[in-house]
């Protein structure tokens, strides 16, 4: 009997969606840092005889920009000009087994052909985008691998959950806060009445379950196309209402009749904190707490106490007093000091202002006074929902008048008028 003709051999391998996400540990939680999305198809023909392979790889790499709340590309996607739709950058590979017939070269000699021919083709240029934020994320990823390699213990409490959104009212006045439908209260915390959002309170929110991605939908672009999370707010005794997007980590200033309110959205690892504050805050660089006061109808009222190395937002009533002047009183354990006679008024400050020295007399006349410096810092922030950074908020930095640094390899003793101190 005659031999049957050889059958064609074919192997098809297809992976329409491959997602590799790298996360970094924060305590016992992890947050996304880097994501790789790709697809792969390959066909192998006639591997027993004249083998032919064709493969296609499409890839897209992005990093997590937490301040913007999106994945941003490291390998730029390719834009399809006909459909205006971005798609992954592609690479194709062809491997072909050549016939063994001898080939004639230029000099008339016979040469054996190459066993195989391999063609690697990319129809679009490979565009890499590196930003400072991307380098920071790669640094975090390297640190996470380093800690895992050194078996370093994570900081934090086992099982501690990171709440995605925290809203803080630090205005000294109650707010009415309206959130969009994507937010719901975190079950781990007491429910807060947002219609009477009291000053000093915090509201913890989680995001409702997101829709499932459809087949072959890009996880990277799903964050870029998602709806912006928006909230609206107003003072309980004020009819002016403002709406603000909190997708991006920015400071925005809103005007409500006689007040100006700053909405400060900060992005931390795995969490976004939205604070409602005034345009004025105090940062304490001293080694002791400082009580802050202001005058209202010839009465000295306490605003609060700012601890060492912390920042304290000034309530609206103190900011918009008749003079806008703040007074300071250090709180030490070994001595008692009076409130400073001279204050600092934010209304008269200018960017050219230099350091101002504050004196707080000791309650006991035989003790020396307490001196420190106040240095104003002006920061340009966004006006309401525009892209214009034309408004200003002010931070008053409280610094010691003198700082001694001992860079010698041995301790020194410095003698003051009152008592000696040891410098290590």
Q: What are the DSSP E strand ranges found in 27-133? A: 29-45, 52-65, 70-73, 78-80, 85-87, 89-97, 103-104, 110-111, 116-121
pLDDT tens across the length of the chain (424 residues): 444 455 578 999 999 989 898 887 655 567 778 899 999 999 998 888 888 899 999 999 998 887 777 788 899 888 877 767 788 899 999 998 877 665 666 666 666 777 888 999 998 899 998 888 889 888 888 877 777 767 655 555 444 567 889 999 999 999 999 988 888 888 888 888 999 999 999 999 988 765 555 555 566 766 665 667 789 999 988 888 999 988 888 899 999 888 999 999 988 767 889 999 999 999 999 999 999 999 988 889 999 999 999 999 999 999 999 899 999 999 988 778 999 999 999 999 887 778 899 999 998 888 888 999 999 999 999 999 888 998 999 999 999 998 888 899 998 887 776 655 555 5
Query: DSSP states of 145-201 as a string?
Result: HHHHHTTPPPPS-TTPPPPSEEEEE-SSS-EEEEE-TTEEE-TTS----GGGB-TT-
Q: Quick one: DSSP state of residue 349?
A: -
Cα–Cα–Cα angle for 24, 30, 32, nearest 5°?
65
Q: Which pLDDT score is estimated for 1?
A: 44
Q: Which two tokens stand for residue 228?
A: 């912006």
Please state, as a whole number, how many other Cβ atoms lie within 10 Å of the Cβ of residue 278: 25
Strand, helix or coil for residue 100: coil
Tokens 């202002």 found at: 353
The whole-angstrom separation of Cα 377 and Cα 353 is: 9
Copy the structure tokens of residue 252: 């925005």
In whole angstroms, what is the distance from residue 357 CA to residue 334 CA?
22
Element (H, E) at 16: strand 10-26
- β pairing state of 271-277 and 165-169: parallel
Q: What is the pLDDT of residue 2?
A: 45
**Exposed, middle or buried: residue 419 (CB in 10 Å: 0-12, 13-18, 19+)?**
exposed
Q: What Rg do the C-alpha atoms of the chain give, in angstroms?
A: 33
State the pairing for strand pair 370-383/251-256.
parallel
pLDDT at position 319 is 95
DSSP per residue, 238-266: ----EEEE-SS--EEEEEETTEEEEEEEE
Q: Are strands 356-360 and 344-345 parallel, antiparallel or unpaired?
A: unpaired
- Distance between CA atoms of 189 and 205, rounded to whole angstroms? 9
Cα dihedral: 71, 73, 74, 76 (round 10): 170
């Amino acid at each position: 009997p005659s031999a049957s003709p050889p059958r064609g051999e074919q192997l098809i391998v297809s992976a329409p969606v491959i997602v590799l996400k790298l996360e970094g540990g924060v305590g016992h939680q992890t947050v996304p840092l880097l994501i790789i999305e790709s697809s792969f198809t390959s066909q192998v023909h006639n591997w027993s005889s004249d083998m032919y392979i064709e493969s296609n790889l499409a890839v897209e790499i992005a990093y997590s920009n937490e301040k913007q709340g999106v994945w941003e590309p490291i390998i730029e996607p390719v834009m399809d000009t006909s459909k205006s739709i971005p798609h992954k950058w592609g690479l194709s590979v062809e491997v072909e087994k050549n016939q063994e017939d001898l080939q004639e070269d230029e000099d008339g000699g016979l040469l054996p052909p190459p066993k195989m021919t391999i063609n690697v083709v990319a129809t679009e240029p490979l565009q890499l985008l590196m930003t400072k934020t991307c380098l920071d994320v790669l640094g975090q990823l390297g640190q996470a691998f380093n800690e895992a390699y050194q078996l370093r213990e994570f900081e934090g409490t086992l099982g501690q959950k990171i709440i995605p959104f925290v809203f803080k009212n630090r205005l000294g006045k109650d707010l009415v806060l309206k959130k969009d439908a994507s937010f719901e209260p975190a079950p781990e915390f007491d429910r807060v009445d947002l219609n009477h959002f009291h000053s000093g309170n915090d509201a913890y929110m989680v995001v409702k379950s997101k829709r499932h991605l459809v087949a072959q939908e890009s996880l990277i672009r799903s964050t870029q196309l998602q709806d912006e999370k928006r909230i609206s707010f107003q003072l309980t005794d004020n009819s002016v209402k403002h709406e603000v997007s909190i997708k991006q980590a920015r400071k925005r200033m809103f005007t409500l009749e006689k007040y100006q309110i700053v909405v400060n959205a900060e992005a931390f690892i795995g969490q976004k904190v939205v604070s409602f504050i005034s345009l004025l805050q105090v940062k304490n660089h001293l080694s002791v707490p400082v009580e802050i006061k202001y005058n209202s109808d010839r009465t000295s009222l306490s605003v609060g106490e700012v601890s060492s190395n912390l920042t304290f937002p000034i309530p609206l009533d103190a900011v918009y007093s008749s003079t806008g002047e703040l007074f300071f009183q250090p709180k030490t354990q070994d001595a008692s000091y009076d409130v400073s006679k001279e204050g600092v008024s934010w209304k008269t400050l200018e960017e050219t202002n230099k350091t101002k020295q504050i004196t707080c007399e000791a309650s006991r006349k035989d003790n020396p006074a307490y001196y420190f410096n106040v240095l104003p810092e002006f920061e340009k922030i966004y006006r309401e929902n525009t892209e214009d950074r034309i408004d200003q908020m002010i931070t008053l930095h409280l610094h010691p008048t003198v700082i001694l640094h001992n860079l010698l390899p041995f301790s020194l003793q410095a003698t003051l008028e009152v008592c000696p101190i040891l410098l290590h």
